[in-house]
Amino acid sequence: MTLIPPRTLKGFRDLMPDQALRRERMVDVVSAVFRAHGYRPIETPALEYAEILKGKGGEESDKQLYEFDDAGKRRVALRFDLTVPLARFVAEHEGKLAFPFRRYHVGPVWRGERPQKGRYREFLQCDADLVGATGDAADTEMLVVMAAAYRALDVGAVTIRFNDRRILAGLLERLDASGLAVPVLRALDKLDKRGTEAVAREMREAGLPAESTERLLGLAEMGTDDADTLARLEGAVTGSRVGEEGLAALGRVRDLAIASGVDPGLLRVDPRIARGLDYYTGIVFEAHFADTPGFGSVGGGGRYDDLAGLYTKSRLPGVGGSIGIDRLLAAVEEREGGTARQSVSDAMVVHPGPERLEAAFAFAAGLRARGLSAEVFPEPKKHGAQMRYADRLGIRFVFTPDADGAFHAKDLIAGETFDVSTPEEAAGEITTRRDAPVDRA
């Protein structure tokens, strides 16, 4: 029999236990933040009818779709984000939902794009959306929720750069180029990844005159601070009603977010933010991880007032944000030089041999009954081998049954030993020692 070489598809990857556990913990943190702001979870299928997804994000999204005929000869596709399925969801279940509808969804999405550092063809998104509400309060809420999530993740400095699509529409209107909005904004969205020269060339190829291209890219530069940027944009959009509306809303949303407690240093008005998906209609934003700028955005979102209208005659405007957990995890790993050990167990009980195995299992069960996680080593190997196993997995406390029924314990981080007689006593020692500072000298 010929062995099949074990390998993964390009752009796909396995997660090692430490990575998977860290990602799971990050998802738990983000989900808790979403729930704290009133968002409730939903689930939608990974596979949708292709017509549900195609044409919603733009030509590039359509090219990246994993699309095929299923066994029933139906044309289907894997979702490329969680927002388009949400629009289908609210249209299909409109009569069962209370609006405004706050939801969050954590799940994998698939895009057949070119893999890059921190960018995969299968990746996890953590989305929060508010559907059925318009105005500054709803847009502000999304910035507040996203800022709270990044703060709770505690991974380092993250900046949320935000803009309003109506400002860009106003700039194009002043340049007599409103009809080129879709290709020009798609090009602008690539500015950080491809650079000014490549983006300018794409804009000219889309039909934007060279002089207008130069002016638009100049206006898209950030000022010395938000006040300077907003002042420059005010002069550029004056005379365009849509541009003036977008600029006024942007300033109000910024002020409201800061008044709600968002650190002003976390926010940055950035006229270059356009977002590549065609369904955005108002505020748009991206989150950037300051410690590893080469990774691009680690999240983003914006307002999409017309997306659900593709599936229902009801008006269901929405605003949402997404945290790219996989890209954020990759960025953190690069900064830290890998993933630190992520132990799932508070304690391990050494396998004492068949004659005392029952006592070992009972002791571990007693620790779990007191809110701790505990495991029993499954084989009667040498004591040193079992200790090395615990150390390799980052399990801090190891308990060894003595012949008299007591347990000899070792704190592998502090390098200290102690004795306990009951699970209750052991749980108290673990809690006390875990909360106390460790002298590593």
Total H helices, total E strands in the chain: 16, 16
Q: Write the burial class of residue 371 (CB in 10 Å: 0-12 exposed, 13-18 middle, 19+ buried).
A: exposed
pLDDT truncated to tens, each residue of the chain (441 aa)? 899 999 999 999 999 999 999 999 999 999 999 999 999 999 999 999 999 999 888 888 899 999 999 999 999 999 999 999 999 999 999 999 999 999 999 999 999 988 888 889 999 999 999 999 999 999 999 999 999 999 999 988 899 999 999 999 999 899 898 888 888 888 888 887 788 889 999 999 999 999 889 888 887 788 889 999 999 899 889 999 999 999 999 999 999 999 999 999 999 999 989 887 788 999 999 999 877 767 778 999 999 999 999 999 999 999 999 999 999 999 888 888 887 788 899 999 999 999 999 999 999 999 999 999 999 999 999 999 999 999 999 999 999 998 888 999 999 999 999 999 999 999 999 999 988 876 655
Distance CA 438, CA 179 (A): 64
CATH 3.30.930.10 fits 17-336, yes or no: yes
Distance CA 171, CA 218 (A): 11
pTM of the model as a whole? 0.90
Fold of 347-435: Rossmann fold (3.40.50)
Strands, E, within 366-421: which ranges?
374-376, 397-401, 407-411, 416-420
Distance CA 40, CA 83 (A): 15
In this prediction, residue 42 carries a pLDDT of 98
Distance CA 410, CA 405 (A): 17
Residue extents of the structural domains in the chain:
17-336, 347-435
Tokens read off for 183: 């290709």
DSSP-derived 3-state class of residue 361: helix
- Token pair 């709600």 is found at 260
Domains 17-336 and 347-435 share a fold: no
Residue 290 contacts by C-beta under 8 Å, 6 or more apart in sequence?
156, 157, 158, 159
In this prediction, residue 291 carries a pLDDT of 74
Question: How many CB atoms are closer than 10 A to CB 61?
Answer: 21
Residue 111 contacts by C-beta under 8 Å, 6 or more apart in sequence?
61, 64, 65, 80, 121
Distance CA 349, CA 399 (A): 5
- Token pair 């690539």 is found at 190
Instruction: Name which of 321, 288, 329 is nearest 25 in CA terms.
Output: 329
